[in-house]
Structure 1
């Protein structure tokens, strides 16, 4: 049976209503910020800037308050590359999630999905890029024919989300505002990939990018552009100038609510409102309400101190729960408010034994489920929760939260009870009975059982928790040592097998639905620190790394393939539950506490910021699904 789903864009999904249209005609609702551009005829008036059918956000229906234009918002980033947060916060997507994590058309005026195999996208007529050029099917055609299909620009054959069964889809331009992607088999990960914090890229501003493409530019001019941008190959030039997820090129047209105006290197980046953004409120006012975002670069280690000193108007990244008390005190000194949102990860802190560890003795132990279970059972999560999280978190395995429709108590409870006697029994059963004079167990080769846990050292919370785990494991005869590595060398050490165990966050998406891919539960990418070499094998389609040889890990990969081959929601749901059961019973990652809280600091003048919400990278895009373009400043 073929299932067909149709989705219209926007909460109202229609043209600007009669009342709003009269409002736009009767009064001047242009942002003051754009006044000079309008006076100089550099941009047209609002009715000509908006699509014929803009996306209407009915603030009152969404539980928000209609706002006013104006104001600048300061935020602090830890490095220049973190300007990428603006594309996450802006959350302008072809198809995105609403705050209930349901799909909705956004940039698209609407779309249809037939059996999750044929996707037809309808663009909004009159939609324009931030430079005023029309956004049409040609922007999809260019990306398909001249980027994805170009072996120089895309040597790997295209993103895995585009070829889940090994073959790219058929791409068609049906008319100026309609495109279609068709697979012979279902591709249920296509929409989640488009809705993610780093969305699958399937279009780009063709009118701008052609100047950097060998097919459209003469060699002399292309060479000059390469020298000007300090690259040696035209391919590198095109990649550098087209990278939307890291908006370092101020000239690159965007569909986001704000566009970057500052070229790196810089200590401050200024993003200003996109005059052609496609969303309006029910009163006909064009979003975003806020004119300007100012991103100040600082050391990541002092972001919390600066935010608490009144130097930020909106801060979510670079601060952690252990900064909450200090930030809350700042409310007495500065006009700021600090709210607590629930982190959406499977665990705020997880211990990840490296099943690809180069040390053969430790690799054999880590691959034995009895050892992983013993490590988990010996941890007193209640103590960790009370000491490090003031009792506000929830002891849990590394699994989905109660906010997910896939939640089951048995997943959360898997091997988390504090039972050192059972942990000792399991270790004895493994043959680790011999101990040295200090009571530490000895490995089969005579070495003391010493586990080095590596951390990026970016949060004192991690080191505080590891001190507690150190004592818990000492009680069962295991020695824990901590080593700090810079994040940029973390990955290479894991891939080489040098890292025995690491501490990191738990599964990225702790609030999934069955329509979201369960790839986080199987070896799929090389930054999964519990099996990076197996993950690289999957990511590279077998060209690098090595295939998993642990039966349960092999089964997880097989189940993931089954999920990707069905359009049946019930089958997807059953696969999710099977994978969650295997993952938690096998303790592939040792979760400690989830439901932890994340401070969100905002100006006291800022409206429409939720008091409580879910906070995470995927799927909520940090602040993204709560529409920062709808935030506004009182007395702006």
Structure 2
């Protein structure tokens, strides 16, 4: 029997009792039009169409084909329906459905310095935190599930999702990232500790094109938080990188040499750089000629924007034509198709660019000391500068306990010295001068007090009362004297006690450094102050070449420590925010063959921290372990804190729309990532 195919109108369908599908409602957060979403401010496509009783039609940026031509190596674009996933993420804009056009102009200090707030504008990961900073919501992943004991995490991807070059993105790209990049000794000589669990690797398997499982050697309930806030993206384009791997391509060496590389390994290094971090110089800056010969300038991405130009002065990006998000009217995001990032190392020049109206968005490295000047010039620059609460902004000073100079190492390991340096700080004055009285004097603790319940007032107030005479008495008790009367104490070997304080304005306010220099000098410890770039600071810190490290106490909010205890254990930091105790870390890593053996309480931190990761955040056991860890830190004054619970400024130009006041200015939630910058648009 044959049947004729017929099309029924909405009215006819209604008569027949079937639902009539009209155009979908242009839902916004300001007006949800009676709809509720399973996750805040976004829908899955099927969910949206079912709740709206509609069929969503899709539209694209009319300039997308021209933008695509700027992406070196990309082919001509197929129709939008072939570029979007079969299951795109539907985003409800904050205030209104936007329109295409404009450029997000931003400022960084350099190609690897102060770039993370702009990186966060284009960032994606499996999941993210909603702007309430409490709810984890889907992003690249469509969904996820756990087994009962938090040892197996299943991630469900979006059918039909594609890389920025149009090739399919599948679970194989996730397995490839871990098995062929993270565990590959040609890429990482030593597997990064952050991707080991109780010292063991996770088993990552692609069970079908849209399903990947992570099987952990121990319970790991906090790992979803890592995917929600972390810069590291747990997927790499297998189709692109595997062409340079003999495991996948028998002619990998020949292909690499054909493209001008010495070896296949050099090709992988060229494109991946041995890092999940996205602000490393792109191949365009590394070797533009070679990139042009190869025909692909940057590794394909899932992010909203793709680097198309880079020099020592800045980088430019254009919209990803295969991006997986649409708005509730069906428009493919992002609305703003271009990002222009310029590098400015000098803070005064940065402020001038903002005041001249040249900057559309800036969060990172704007300090309260800048606020009065920026506020005064709001009208002139047509921008708004506002305050936001902060997490992890308490600036610390951490003396190098395993210093290469044994005399300084002995001094820095004497708790009397640490206490003297702590009580020599006039935190009330720091709060007034640097933070305009907006903060709270506070000791340095490795868990942001506003996000956990195990940090007590006694801990936060330990050794913070200003007492310059008490500081001098402690130093004298150590046997440190000013024999020649020049105002500077002498070390036990007779040399003047001089501390080199190297700092970067990306991490700390200049005025605070000057105040601390004067406080400690008044106690008899001379401080030589030197400002450097963040790259220089990090290189010296990670080489154990600094007398002390100073930065913001980031990486310590609840979501951060639930999945990464870097701040808890030696060296109490990562590459981007180095701590102290590198010798202690070496001792642990080599089983005592190298480095410096720490005291018994420092040794406890490794065991306590491992247990902390294996229990659910906020549970009684988690709080008990957290309190023990914090007590060891504060008893030893591993990081001397200054002022916490502060607010900090951020700014945006007034023609940037769909901007919502941010709940917190925090690297720990990856700056702008929770606030959905893909739905920003420029008023025209």
TM-score interval, normalised by the smaller of the two chains: 0.7 to 0.9
Contact 1:535–1:545, Cα closer than 8 Å, also in 2: no
Alignment of 1:180 with 2:213, yes or no, is yes
Q: Structure 1 CA distance, aligned partners of 2:145 and 2:91?
A: 21
Among residues 154, 170, 187, which one is paired with 2:203 in the alignment? 170
Q: Structure 2 CA distance, aligned partners of 1:74 and 1:206?
A: 32
Number of aligned residue pairs? 615
CA 1:541–1:163 in 2, change beyond 3 Å: closer, same or farther? farther
Query: What is the CA distance between 1:294 and its match in structure 2?
Result: 1.5
Describe the SS at the equivalent of 1:403.
helix
CA 1:510–1:370 in 2, change beyond 3 Å: closer, same or farther? farther
Describe the SS at the equivalent of 1:590.
coil
Contact 2:205–2:214, Cα closer than 8 Å, also in 1: yes
Query: What is the CA distance between 1:363 and its match in structure 2?
Result: 1.7
Q: 1:132 maps to what in 2? A: 166
Contact 2:423–2:467, Cα closer than 8 Å, also in 1: yes
Query: What is the CA distance between 1:591 and its match in structure 2?
Result: 1.0
CA 1:417–1:310 in 2, change beyond 3 Å: closer, same or farther? same
Among residues 228, 233, 242, which one is paired with 1:210 in the alignment? 242
CA 1:69–1:586 in 2, change beyond 3 Å: closer, same or farther? same
CA 1:261–1:440 in 2, change beyond 3 Å: closer, same or farther? closer
Among residues 293, 299, 302, which one is paired with 1:255 in the alignment? 302
Alignment of 1:344 with 2:391, yes or no, is yes
Contact 1:344–1:511, Cα closer than 8 Å, also in 2: no
Q: Structure 2 CA distance, aligned partners of 1:280 and 1:537?
A: 51
Among residues 385, 392, 395, which one is paired with 2:431 in the alignment? 385
Describe the SS at the equivalent of 2:166.
coil
Contact 1:95–1:103, Cα closer than 8 Å, also in 2: yes
Greater Cα shift, 436-445 or 119-128: 436-445
CA 1:368–1:321 in 2, change beyond 3 Å: closer, same or farther? same
What per-residue deviation string (whole Å, max 9, x for no partner) do you get for residues 585-619 of structure 1?
A: 321111112234433221201123333432232x2
Greater Cα shift, 568-577 or 287-296: 568-577
Describe the SS at the equivalent of 1:134.
coil
Contact 1:16–1:54, Cα closer than 8 Å, also in 2: no
Describe the SS at the equivalent of 1:356.
coil
Equivalence map 1:81-96=2 (5 Å):
81=112, 86-96=118-128
Alignment of 1:97 with 2:144, yes or no, is no
Q: 2:625 maps to what in 1? A: 575
Q: Structure 1 CA distance, aligned partners of 2:267 and 2:507?
A: 40
Q: Structure 2 CA distance, aligned partners of 1:548 and 1:284?
A: 60
Query: What is the CA distance between 1:180 and its match in structure 2?
Result: 1.0
Describe the SS at the equivalent of 1:108.
coil
Q: Structure 2 CA distance, aligned partners of 1:214 and 1:43?
A: 31
Greater Cα shift, 590-599 or 430-439: 430-439
Alignment of 1:315 with 2:347, yes or no, is no
Query: What is the CA distance between 1:151 and its match in structure 2?
Result: 3.7
CA 1:367–1:235 in 2, change beyond 3 Å: closer, same or farther? same
Alignment of 1:147 with 2:147, yes or no, is no
Where in structure 1 are there 5+ consecutive unaligned residues?
A: 1-6
Q: Structure 2 CA distance, aligned partners of 1:543 and 1:235?
A: 33
What per-residue deviation string (whole Å, max 9, x for no partner) do you get for residues 409-467 of structure 1?
A: 2332121111334434433443446755356544444444x241412353797443233
Contact 2:451–2:557, Cα closer than 8 Å, also in 1: yes
Q: Structure 2 CA distance, aligned partners of 1:465 and 1:577?
A: 29
Q: 1:239 maps to what in 2? A: 269
Describe the SS at the equivalent of 1:80.
coil
Query: What is the CA distance between 1:186 and its match in structure 2?
Result: 1.5
CA 1:433–1:452 in 2, change beyond 3 Å: closer, same or farther? closer
Q: Structure 2 CA distance, aligned partners of 1:401 and 1:514?
A: 9
Q: 2:287 maps to what in 1? A: none
CA 1:441–1:151 in 2, change beyond 3 Å: closer, same or farther? closer
Q: Structure 2 CA distance, aligned partners of 1:496 and 1:34?
A: 45
Q: 1:3 maps to what in 2? A: none
Q: Structure 2 CA distance, aligned partners of 1:495 and 1:146?
A: 26
Q: Structure 1 CA distance, aligned partners of 2:636 and 2:432?
A: 27
Q: 2:515 maps to what in 1? A: 468
Among residues 147, 155, 166, which one is paired with 1:121 in the alignment? 155
Equivalence map 1:32-431=2 (5 Å):
32-34=62-64, 42-59=76-93, 65-81=96-112, 86-99=118-131, 100-114=133-147, 115-156=149-190, 158-188=191-221, 190-199=223-232, 201-217=233-249, 219=251, 222-223=253-254, 225-226=256-257, 228=259, 231-242=261-272, 245-246=278-279, 248-249=282-283, 250-262=297-309, 264-265=310-311, 267-301=313-347, 302-347=349-394, 349-399=395-445, 400-406=447-453, 407-431=455-479
Q: Structure 2 CA distance, aligned partners of 1:127 and 1:190?
A: 23
CA 1:227–1:548 in 2, change beyond 3 Å: closer, same or farther? farther
Describe the SS at the equivalent of 1:398.
coil
Contact 2:655–2:682, Cα closer than 8 Å, also in 1: yes
Which TM-score applies when normalising by structure 2? 0.80
Query: What is the CA distance between 1:514 and its match in structure 2?
Result: 6.2
CA 1:336–1:491 in 2, change beyond 3 Å: closer, same or farther? closer
Q: Structure 2 CA distance, aligned partners of 1:38 and 1:232?
A: 31
What per-residue deviation string (whole Å, max 9, x for no partner) do you get for residues 344-386 of structure 1?
A: 2251x32221111233333222212222112111211111111
CA 1:440–1:129 in 2, change beyond 3 Å: closer, same or farther? closer
Greater Cα shift, 123-132 or 544-553: 544-553
Greater Cα shift, 349-358 or 605-614: 605-614
Contact 2:565–2:613, Cα closer than 8 Å, also in 1: no
Contact 2:85–2:161, Cα closer than 8 Å, also in 1: yes
Q: Structure 1 CA distance, aligned partners of 2:105 and 2:253?
A: 38
Describe the SS at the equivalent of 2:396.
strand
Contact 1:359–1:497, Cα closer than 8 Å, also in 2: no
Equivalence map 1:613-632=2 (5 Å):
613-617=663-667, 619-632=668-681
Describe the SS at the equivalent of 2:386.
strand
Query: What is the CA distance between 1:520 and its match in structure 2?
Result: 0.6
Greater Cα shift, 293-302 or 506-515: 506-515
CA 1:132–1:10 in 2, change beyond 3 Å: closer, same or farther? farther
Contact 1:346–1:398, Cα closer than 8 Å, also in 2: no
What per-residue deviation string (whole Å, max 9, x for no partner) do you get for residues 261-280 of structure 1?
A: 22x43644221112222223
Q: Structure 1 CA distance, aligned partners of 2:629 and 2:243?
A: 47
What per-residue deviation string (whole Å, max 9, x for no partner) do you get for residues 197-245 of structure 1?
A: 421x5422122222222234454x744644645x423112113224562
Q: Structure 1 CA distance, aligned partners of 2:400 and 2:75?
A: 61
Contact 2:369–2:436, Cα closer than 8 Å, also in 1: no
Greater Cα shift, 186-195 or 374-383: 186-195
Among residues 584, 588, 591, which one is paired with 1:534 in the alignment? 584
Q: Structure 2 CA distance, aligned partners of 1:516 and 1:605?
A: 38
Which TM-score applies when normalising by structure 1? 0.86
